[in-house]
Structure 1
Amino acid sequence: MLKKQMELLMNEQANLALIDVEKAYAKKHALLSNEEITETTTLHVDVIERCDKVTEELLAEETAVFLTTPVQYLKEHPNEFVYVTSERLDVIRVDSFALEFDEMFGVYSALFGLRLQKKQSEFLRTYLTTHLQHEKMTYSVAFSGEDGLWEVNLALDAMDGFSEVQSFDEVLVHLYRFVFGLLEELEAIV
């Protein structure tokens, strides 16, 4: 599943720049041609919206410059969440990311839909339990048969290397790497 998505990405993109985990995967699976592939530390985002947490009303559409803002912005604006989409998320089978500060648990959270089969329940829960460590809420997942995807809510604070002073850009790449690793591990056992 991941290999197919990576092949599609590499065939569709001219002047391809890969995130480190993508580049390592492409080398491991001999997907790279002799062309020089550059590495990127950012995720190209198509839509960036700040929304009200209660009403989900759009407060503002942002430009890529907003992504350089530290994620602690969410703690300073607890009534908001940030919604982002990117075509690149298709590689990791994610529809979009919504980031917020969860005042109830005192953690930063990422919410997203993950296109995995329902039968992957045990693997998904085991992976998240193994890779997320925090004294408070770490994650919740629920399968939506209507949408055919897992609705995932995970505490960013529980991810190794997360810091509230990281920019939204850095956090999005961190999340991308996390889900990429999940899919790579799943692919290895299926």
Structure 2
Amino acid sequence: MLTAEIKKLLEQKPIKLFNEEKEYAITNSLISPEEINEVMPSQLRWTDLYIERGNKETEEFLGEETTSFLQEKISYLRSNQQEFLYLASKWFENIEIEGIILEKNDVFHTYDIIFGLKKQKKYGDQLRKILSEKFPLEAKYSILFNGNDGLWDINLPISYLNGFSEDMTIEEVLSHSYQFLFKMVVDLENNR
């Protein structure tokens, strides 16, 4: 699936890719490095981003935000613990994720991303293996196959990702999370 999405990006001229897609395209012999016209800075990835704030308890819509909201520190979610952020972008869709929820976990005091991954049930063991290698034992995460929707419901404590800091902006956390998710999907598809 990822290969098909990357091939669509390569059809656009001039060829402008972000680093993750560039590395994937070169590694999988979809393009040579010389054919890439430009590597885009990561902050340009989120120009199409839909941002919605919601109430964690009631799921009530609290407001839609512009991309300037991404410059808020991730600690915004600590200061506003009753809120979650719903974020949707074509870049998530490219890696078979409909969108993500970003929130501060009240119980474990971590920053979490919650999402649905459109992969078949047969990927379960491999998915668990990848996550167990990426997160320490004390990290509390959950994955559950949702047979009704045909996807994996996943909740990951991104506070445990290497490089995470509460001083990061929401944009930095989003880009950091995307890099992790992109690599996770690549590993799943390569059966690693």
Q: TM-score, normalised by structure 2?
A: 0.90
Instruction: Look up the equivalent residue of 2:6 and give its one-letter code.
Output: M
Q: Distance in 2 between matches of 1:172 and 1:17?
A: 20
Q: Distance in 2 between matches of 1:60 and 1:171?
A: 21
SS at match of 1:162: coil
Change (3 A) 1:89 1:16: farther
Within 5 Å, give how 1:60-71 maps onto structure 2: 60-71=63-74
Matched, 1:168 2:173: no
Q: Which residue of 1 aligns with 2:23?
A: 24
SS at match of 1:120: helix
Q: Structure 2: which 5+ residue stretches go unaligned?
A: none
Instruction: Look up the equivalent residue of 2:17 and give its one-letter code.
Output: L
Displacement of 1:41:
1.2
Task: Tell me: higher relative CO, structure 1 or 2? Use CA pairs within 8 A at least 6 residues apart.
Answer: 1
SS at match of 2:31: coil
Paired residue for 2:51, among 48, 51, 58?
48
Q: Which residue of 2 aligns with 1:78?
A: 81
C-alpha RMSD of the superposition: 1.8
Q: Distance in 2 between matches of 1:103 and 1:18?
A: 37
Q: Distance in 1 between matches of 2:116 and 2:41?
A: 24
> Is the 1:133–1:159 contact (alpha carbons within 8 Å) kept by the matching residues of 2?
no
Displacement of 1:178:
1.0
> Is the 1:110–1:155 contact (alpha carbons within 8 Å) kept by the matching residues of 2?
yes
Q: Which residue of 2 aligns with 1:189?
A: 191
Give the count of matched residue pairs.
188
Q: Which residue of 2 aligns with 1:8?
A: 8
Displacement of 1:14:
4.8
Indicate the larger mover: 176-185 or 67-76. Answer: 176-185
Q: Structure 1: which 5+ residue stretches go unaligned?
A: none
Q: Which residue of 2 aligns with 1:142?
A: 144
Q: Which residue of 2 aligns with 1:121?
A: 124
Instruction: Look up the equivalent residue of 2:156 and give its one-letter code.
Output: L
Displacement of 1:37:
2.4
Displacement of 1:5:
1.8
SS at match of 2:114: strand
Displacement of 1:89:
1.1
Displacement of 1:3:
1.2
Matched, 1:39 2:37: no
Change (3 A) 1:35 1:161: closer
Q: Distance in 1 between matches of 2:179 and 2:18?
A: 8
Q: TM-score, normalised by structure 1?
A: 0.91
SS at match of 1:166: coil
Q: Which residue of 2 aligns with 1:89?
A: 92
Indicate the larger mover: 127-136 or 45-54. Answer: 127-136
Matched, 1:110 2:113: yes
Q: Distance in 2 between matches of 1:125 and 1:116?
A: 13
Q: Distance in 1 between matches of 2:148 and 2:14?
A: 38
